[in-house]
């Protein structure tokens, strides 16, 4: 792929990009039995964010690559609106809670039937603030849930036995790449994100989990723009940016919890540590892992696109299970499974609340 083509894709679909230096500051498991809902206490999942959590909110008629082959080839066997060959982070969190993946908000608008597992409001390419895509930012996504409460699609009682998953910020950084005062922007972004989390909790959701940002320097699309190839070396400068953001996020979450009288409702899912563990990153290079070429995307080229003659402008690796990354920005199903596995030991504490028992293993 030429650099200019990669950059265009990057602007539209990026999980994250920053160029300003900062100081350091397997397939999815089978769904558990229905009685796990009682044991876990959490019966619904409400999802907000971007392409790391979107399970199909963009319409199939949209130019979005997530509705084109080869996306979805592993699960469900055809494009489903997920930015991967199969299941993604929100699918695994739902499975951990013992429930099915919540339906996309767009599906509810189309069918008018709210499923029992909650709802997914995430839109690929969106952010905390407005970005390059014409999709709902996080504030608007939260308003969608508020409207569903007003319409009695869900009740306050439903929310008391729910969990919220929030995955969004990468596209904000992409959109504001050339902001002159980036340090101030990071503070503004993390402050607004914290206000959003607080608002979700005040609506009645007892536990709100937000993802820390993944290591930017280890994302193939970012490495390509930096080095001109998909090398097995992470960009440490970009990872410093990630750590700066995550440090501010941690401080804000701590303050939110300190201000609460009902325990610690806000938790962080450490994607940075999980990605580093799954890729076995040491000294900015992937170490031995189950992935043959950890930073080599399975779908190379303009993934999901064809030219005027119908010829594919991409190629897919022989075995997606051996690839951590599906395309230049998003993990494969196997990659997300590895990330989830790295997170799993911390999930009982994260999702335990005074209103429910800790989730049990299955």
Write out pLDDT tens, residues 146-156.
999 999 999 99
Q: How many angstroms separate the first and last alpha carbons of the chain?
A: 43
Residue 11 tokens read as 């602007």
The reply to whether 285 falls in a domain is yes
Residue (of 214, 212, 210) closest to 257 by Cα position: 210
Check residues 163 and 65 and name the one with the higher pLDDT.
Answer: 163
Helix (H) or strand (E) holding 45: strand 44-49
The reply to whether 362 falls in a domain is no
Instruction: Reply yes or no: is the peptide bond before residue 267 cis, omega within 30 of 0.
Output: no
Question: Could you tell me if 286 and 295 are in contact, meaning their C-beta atoms sit under 8 angstroms apart?
Answer: yes
Active site residues: 51, 327, 330
Helix (H) or strand (E) holding 18: none
* The pLDDT of residue 178: 56
Residue 131 tokens read as 């970005």
Check residues 284 and 247 and name the one with the higher pLDDT.
Answer: 247
The reply to whether 317 falls in a domain is yes
**Confidence class of residue 30 from pLDDT cuts 50, 70 and 90?**
very low
Q: Residue range 290-312: average pLDDT? A: 90
* The pLDDT of residue 287: 67
The reply to whether 81 falls in a domain is yes
Kindly report the pTM of this predicted structure. 0.85
Q: Residue range 186-191: average pLDDT? A: 89
Check residues 289 and 105 and name the one with the higher pLDDT.
Answer: 105
The reply to whether 356 falls in a domain is no
* The pLDDT of residue 134: 85
Residue 91 tokens read as 């699918």
Q: Which domain holds residue 201?
A: 3-351
Q: Residue range 54-75: average pLDDT? A: 89
**Confidence class of residue 34 from pLDDT cuts 50, 70 and 90?**
very low
Name which of 2-11, 77-86, 198-207, 299-308 the model is least confident about. Answer: 2-11
* The pLDDT of residue 331: 97
* The pLDDT of residue 236: 84
**Confidence class of residue 63 from pLDDT cuts 50, 70 and 90?**
low
For the chain, the average pLDDT equals 82
* The pLDDT of residue 159: 93
Question: Could you tell me if 269 and 212 are in contact, meaning their C-beta atoms sit under 8 angstroms apart?
Answer: yes
Distances (CA, A) of 9 to 1, 16, 125, 239: 11, 12, 11, 21
**Confidence class of residue 110 from pLDDT cuts 50, 70 and 90?**
confident
Find the CATH number of the domain harbouring 327.
Answer: 3.40.50.1110
Q: How many domains does the chain have?
A: 1
pLDDT above 70 covers a percentage of the chain that reads 80
The reply to whether 245 falls in a domain is yes
Distances (CA, A) of 165 to 4, 27, 342: 34, 21, 17
The reply to whether 69 falls in a domain is yes
Distances (CA, A) of 216 to 163, 225, 305, 326: 27, 12, 25, 16
**Confidence class of residue 282 from pLDDT cuts 50, 70 and 90?**
confident
Question: Could you tell me if 81 and 304 are in contact, meaning their C-beta atoms sit under 8 angstroms apart?
Answer: no
Check residues 70 and 244 and name the one with the higher pLDDT.
Answer: 70
The reply to whether 359 falls in a domain is no
Say whether pLDDT at 93 is over 90: yes
Question: Could you tell me if 319 and 3 are in contact, meaning their C-beta atoms sit under 8 angstroms apart?
Answer: no
Say whether pLDDT at 177 is over 80: no
CA dihedral 50, 56, 60, 61 (to 10 degrees): -30
* The pLDDT of residue 283: 66
């Amino acid at each position: 792929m030429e650099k200019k083509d990669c950059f265009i894709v990057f602007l539209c679909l990026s999980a994250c990009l920053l160029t300003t230096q900062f100081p350091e500051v397997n397939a999815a498991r089978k769904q558990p039995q229905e009685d796990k809902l009682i044991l876990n206490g959490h019966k619904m999942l409400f999802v907000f964010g971007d392409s790391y959590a979107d399970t199909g909110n963009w319409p199939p008629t949209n130019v979005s690559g997530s509705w084109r082959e080869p996306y979805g080839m592993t699960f469900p066997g055809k494009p489903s609106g997920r930015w991967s060959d199969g299941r993604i982070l929100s699918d695994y969190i739902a499975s951990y809670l013992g429930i099915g993946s919540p339906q996309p908000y767009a599906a509810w608008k189309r069918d008018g039937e709210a499923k029992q597992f909650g709802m997914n409001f995430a839109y690929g390419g969106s952010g905390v603030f407005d970005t390059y895509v014409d999709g709902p930012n996080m504030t608007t996504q939260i308003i969608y849930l508020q409207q569903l409460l007003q319409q009695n699609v869900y009740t306050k009682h439903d929310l008391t036995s729910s969990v919220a998953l929030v995955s969004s910020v990468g596209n904000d950084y992409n959109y504001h790449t050339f902001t002159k005062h980036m340090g101030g922007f990071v503070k503004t972004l993390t402050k607004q994100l914290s206000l959003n989390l607080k608002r979700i909790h005040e609506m009645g959701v007892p536990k709100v989990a937000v993802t820390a940002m993944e290591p930017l320097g280890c994302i193939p699309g970012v490495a390509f723009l930096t080095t001109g190839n998909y090398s097995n070396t992470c960009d440490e400068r970009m990872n410093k940016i990630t750590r700066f953001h995550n440090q501010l996020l941690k401080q804000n979450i701590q303050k939110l919890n300190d201000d609460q009288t009902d325990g610690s409702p806000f938790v962080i899912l450490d994607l940075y540590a999980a990605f580093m563990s799954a890729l076995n990153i040491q000294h900015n290079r992937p170490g031995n892992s189950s992935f043959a070429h950890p930073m080599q995307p399975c779908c190379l080229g303009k993934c999901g696109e064809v030219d005027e003659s119908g010829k594919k402008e991409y190629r897919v690796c022989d075995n997606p299970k051996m690839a951590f990354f599906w395309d230049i920005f998003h993990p494969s199903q196997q990659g997300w499974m590895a990330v989830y596995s790295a997170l799993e030991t911390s999930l009982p504490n994260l999702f335990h609340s005074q209103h429910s028992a800790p989730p049990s293993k299955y």
